[in-house]
Structure formats: C-alpha cells, structure tokens
Amino acid sequence: MIRTAETDTALRGRVRDLYDAYYDTLDDVRLADWPDFFLPDCLYRVIPRENFERGYTLSTMQAESRGMLQDRVTGLTTTQMYAPRYYRRFPGPLRISATADGIRTRHNLLIVQTLIDRQSEIVLSAVCHDRIVDQDGRLYFAERIVVIDSEMIPNSLIYPA
C-alpha cells in the first residue's frame, strides 16, 4: 500500500473534489444526480456498527447497483411519505490510500437533521469506508460503506448518507 497523500497530491485533490461535489449534491437534495456518483456495478451500505463488527451484511439502507440507488430515489420522490426536513452533512478529514483495486478512503461523517419548528439533531454519526475508481478520467464510487455508531435512529432515516 502506498501513502498516496504523500506521493500524489493531484489525485488527492481529485478525490476531495469528488466528495465536495457528492455532499453538495445530497445537501441540495439533487437526488436524481446522486446515483451518477457510483459505478453501475457498485455496493452502497448504511449499516449499524454492531452489524458491521459482527460480520453481518444486513443494512439500514443497501444498494447493490446504480439501479438500486435510482430505485431509492424513486421511492423517496414518488412512493414514500415523510415529514419535510433538511439534512446537512459534515464530513471529517480524509484518509486516502491507493490499493490494487482502487483508492481506499476513510472519513468521519456527521449528518444533522432539521424538521419544521424543531431544533436540529444528529441523525447519524458515522465512519465511511469507500473505494473509488478512475474510469475514463472520472472518479466513481465502487463501494461506499457508511458505518453508523448512532444505532438508535431518531425515528426515520430518509435521505442517503
């Protein structure tokens, strides 16, 4: 494993740009654009820490393809019922390393939720383990595993992490 941060500042810049764009898209609730950050064949999980640590794959939210991410968006925009809310995502510093199957990253993530006439509250406190690949000069998520410490979710988890 190579410590990319020391060897390739250009790549590090591209990865940071990817995350900036990703979190901007979600915070602005441009949900239709969200699946495009992923490869068609990808794995996305928001998984409670207790499941992750015991080797269970059962997730609070899971998608095994870009299609399933699109279906999640379809659910959110056409079939699901929920109170209106804002989510704002606060990622922590990035740890980046290059591996044979892509760029591995790790960072903390806090998601703050605000409902109408309510004080803001933390909906997720998590660590993200992602794998990013370069395809045709653009970076995509091949894998994004969001491991949530805050397993007791304040009612619903509506929008993705």
* 51, 108, 114, 125: which one binds other proteins (CB under 8 A): 51
CB of 130 to other proteins, least distance (A): 19
For residue 125, what are the contacts with CB-CB under 8 A and spacing of at least 6? 108, 109, 110, 148, 149, 150
H or E, element range at 4: helix 4-7
* 1, 10, 28, 79: which one binds other proteins (CB under 8 A): 79
Closest CA to 94 of 143, 47, 128, 44: 128
Any contact of residue 153 with other proteins (CB under 8 A)? yes
Looking at the Cβ atoms of 139 and 161, the one nearer to other proteins is 161
* 56, 101, 120, 122: which one binds other proteins (CB under 8 A): 56
Any contact of residue 11 with other proteins (CB under 8 A)? no
Distances (CA, A) of 93 to 45, 113, 134, 140, 161: 21, 21, 21, 19, 16
Q: What is the largest CA-CA distance in the chain?
A: 49
Looking at the Cβ atoms of 97 and 156, the one nearer to other proteins is 156
Decide if 145 contacts 41 (C-beta within 8 A): no
**Cα–Cα distance measured from residue 113 to residue 118, given in angstroms and rounded to the nearest whole number:** 10
State CA 159 to chain mean position distance. 10
Any contact of residue 71 with other proteins (CB under 8 A)? yes
Any contact of residue 122 with other proteins (CB under 8 A)? no
Any contact of residue 39 with other proteins (CB under 8 A)? no
* 60, 108, 114, 125: which one binds other proteins (CB under 8 A): 60
Q: Which residues bind other proteins (CB under 8 A)?
A: 46-48, 50-51, 54, 56-68, 70-71, 74-75, 78-83, 151-158
